[in-house]
Amino acid sequence: MKEHLKFYIDGEWVDPVTPRTLDVINPATEEPFARISLGSAADVDKAVSAAADAFEQFLRTTPQERVELFEAILAEYGKRYEEIAQTISTEMGAPIWLSNAAQAMTGQMHFSTAMQILKDYQWEEQKRSYKLRKEPVGVCGLITPWNWPMNQITCKVAPALAAGCTMVLKPSEVAPVNAIILAEILDAAGVPKGVFNLVNGDGPTVGEALSGHPDIHMMSFTGSTRAGIQVARAAADSVKRVAQELGGKSANIILEDADLKQAVSGGVSQIFQNSGQSCNAPSRMLVPANVHNDALEIAREVAESTKAGDPFASGTNIGPVVSEVQFDKIQGLIQKGIDEGATLVTGGTGRPEGMNVGYFVKPTVFGNVSNDMTIAREEIFGPVLTILPYETEEEAIQIANDTPYGLSGYVQSGSVEHAQEVAAQIRTGNVHINGSGPDFNAPFGGYKASGNGREWGELGFEEFLETKAVFAPRVA
């Protein structure tokens, strides 16, 4: 078992103030593979102090100096790419093909995107009677989850660095080792001491200490809506900025004019990707009532051809979910769907056949779901798809919006123009039409209980900036 018992504070690997350890579990084997230390408020104080001291110098670096720093970071990241992918597959269960193609890749893309924004960004603009300036917000507290760990770390760290901020990161204690590798990368690239700091720990201890710390100017949080509310409450007393990317229960509207087989197959495959552990997963599929039964058969075929297994084995489509807690939650919600009268098309409770170890969940499809059922309301965060019939397009839009969340939406249609008209009526921060994927330059974030603020691209970069108006007398 590897031990990672130190925190990265002020450019050094240091022991925690009070020793306390936690085993990191491989969800495919249920066995510990690493051990970390859990921090305390005292560790947070040390890290924030280092970040505050470093900010006075780092905010004065030029954009070109930070571009050169990003070039060094990307070079170091490339050297560790394979290790990052393997680590993510081991600690949170993503199949290695997904870790290579997406989980690890997102880190490179966020640093590359932030670097390009930094090259082109206009920091000052002369208005009629004043000059508009953009400046770094200051010391940032970053709290990230386990499901797309490197993605959600780097979409905060990269723009914060580019903006000239300093930071303290608390990654998920469930999947922390990739963050430790990133700290080593930043150190090797020459990030000045105190600019980036890492303290491992849990939410009630380290997360609470960060959120309420008077010397942190901004909190950026990704995680559950419940935890996001706690971060905002803790941050309120010091009136710091809070950016939140929270939960989702995204609708995938398949319109009458869509290719049913293509649309349903694509939607099923997407909800199962990453074992359903994506906040923007299209977990509610809305289909015309007259083809509902056909959609169920298509979904059954795709689900039953989806292989759950060892993340490092060839042919594995989905790995385990991340933890016993997550496994038990998903099992309870699957049973709730059965108890509330939804049609279990395939899957169900328990592990897939022949699997006795690991937090593996059967790829599951429910049909005849109504939007008041628990499985249509709550974020399951597992490989579970709910299919809801609708009678009219207006009803489909109403169902899509009938949720506390507003992160993503999906529309499938034979006409992109038609899909655009529907997309305009969906109350979400993102809408994907006909299988269109993400763009690292586009903003990511949600409406309603899915959070506030935006990540990714230029808008995500600007979250880490303050706006200043400078007034001066006109020169004759």
Catalytic center residues: 245, 279
Helix or strand holding residue 21 (H, E)? strand 21-26
Cβ 219 vs Cβ 243: under 8 Å = yes
- In 3D space, the residue among 202, 194, 198, 165 whose CA is nearest the CA of residue 182 turns out to be 198
The number of CA neighbours under 13 Å toward the Cβ of 417 is 0
Give which of 249, 292, 257 is closest to 433, Cα–Cα: 257
For 41, the token pair is: 């408020």
Half-sphere exposure of residue 432, counting CA atoms within 13 Å on the CB side?
Answer: 22
The DSSP element (H or E) to which 385 belongs, if any, is strand 384-390
**Nearest to 135, CA basis, from 74, 60, 234:** 60
DSSP state of 280: T
Q: Please, where are the H alpha helices in 80-224?
A: 81-92, 96-98, 105-120, 149-163, 177-189, 208-212
Q: Are 224 and 247 in contact (CB under 8 A)?
A: yes
Phi, psi torsion values for 54, nearest 5 degrees: -70, -30
> Cα(288)–Cα(157) distance, rounded to whole angstroms?
43
Which residues touch 307 (CB under 8 Å, ≥6 apart)? 315, 316, 317, 318
How are the residues of the chain apportioned to helix, strand and coil, as percentages rounded to the nearest 5? 40, 20, 35
